Structure 1
Amino acid sequence: MMKIGWRPQKWLEKKSKSGFRGYPVGTVAFYGPDNERASKVAVAVITVPDTPPFALRRWFIESGDIRNDSAIMEQVATFLRTEEVRSLVVTPDLLGCPHEEGIDYPDGEVCPHCPYWANRKRPVPWER
C-alpha cells in the first residue's frame, strides 16, 4: 500500500543508504550511450546469495535522462516494493552501453550505436 504523498525517488535514495538488511536484495543499474546520460535502467531482485535474479525488469527512454523521469522511477520503486526488497543497491555511475552484446549487436564486437564505450573500461561499482 502506497502512502499519500509517497515520493518514489526519496524512497529509493533512503532504501539504498540503509545498507544490507537481508534478502531479497534489489539492484538498480543505469546504462547510457555515454557516461553522462542514462537511457536504460535495469532492476533485479535477488532472493538467495549467488543465484541469478528472481525478477528482472528494464526500462528505456529515447531522449533525456531516465534518472530524471519521475514516471519511470515510480515504476522502479513500485516494482521493488511489490517484490518486498529488504536491501537495495543503486549504482552511482553508468555501467556502460544500453545495448546488449549478442542481442543488439554481435558477440565480441563493440556497439555501433555507442562509440563512447568502445574499448573503454567500464566502471565496476563493487571495486570502489
Structure 2
Amino acid sequence: MKLGWRPQKWLEKKSKSGFRGYPVGTVAFYGADNLRASKVAVAVITAEGAPPLVLRRWFSETGDVRDDPATIEEIATFLRSEEVRTVALSPTMMGCPHEEGIDYPEGEVCPQCPYWANRERPLPR
C-alpha cells in the first residue's frame, strides 16, 4: 500500500542527503528563545556566493512552526516547486525572529527577545 507524499519526511530525507547541487533550499528557524520557533525563513540559492533568488517567511503567533503540518507542507511544496536539488535544514534555532534595523535599531539587542542578548548564534554555512 502506497502512503502518498509526506512533506516532513521529504524535507528530512532531502536534508540528510547532503549536497546534491544547486539550487539549494535553506530552512532556518527563529524564536524568542531556543524552545519555540515562531518564524521560519526559507530561501532558494542558485549558485555559490549568489544572493537568494527567492525568500519566503512563515510565522506563528502561538504555536511552533516546526510542529505545524500545514506550514511544513507549504515549505516542502515551495521547495519542490523551485526544483531544489539540496535542502540545508538548520538543526538548531538561528536566533531572534525580529530583524535588526527593521524591528529594532542596528547594532542593538532585540528588546523583545532577552534570551538572545549577548549569545552566540549559529553561523550560516
TM superposition score normalised by structure 1: 0.93
2:10 corresponding residue in structure 1: 11
2:101 corresponding residue in structure 1: 102
Residues 15-64 of structure 1: CA deviation (Å, up to 9, x unaligned): 00111111000000000000111110000000011110011000000012
1:121 is displaced (CA, Å) by 1.0
Distance 1:125 1:52, change over 3 A: closer
Q: Secondary structure at the match of 1:79?
A: helix
Does residue 29 of structure 2 align to residue 30 of structure 1?
yes
Residues 54-84 of structure 1: CA deviation (Å, up to 9, x unaligned): 1100000001211000001100000000000
Aligned-CA RMSD value: 1.4
Residues 64-113 of structure 1: CA deviation (Å, up to 9, x unaligned): 21100000110000000000000110000000000000001111111111
* Structure 2 gap ranges (5+): none
Which one is further off, 3-12 or 82-91?
A: 3-12
Identity of aligned residues (%): 74
1:117 is displaced (CA, Å) by 0.3
Contact kept? 1:92, 1:125, Cα under 8 Å: no
Q: Secondary structure at the match of 1:76?
A: helix
1:55 corresponding residue in structure 2: 54
Does residue 86 of structure 2 align to residue 87 of structure 1?
yes
TM superposition score normalised by structure 2: 0.95
* Structure 1 gap ranges (5+): none
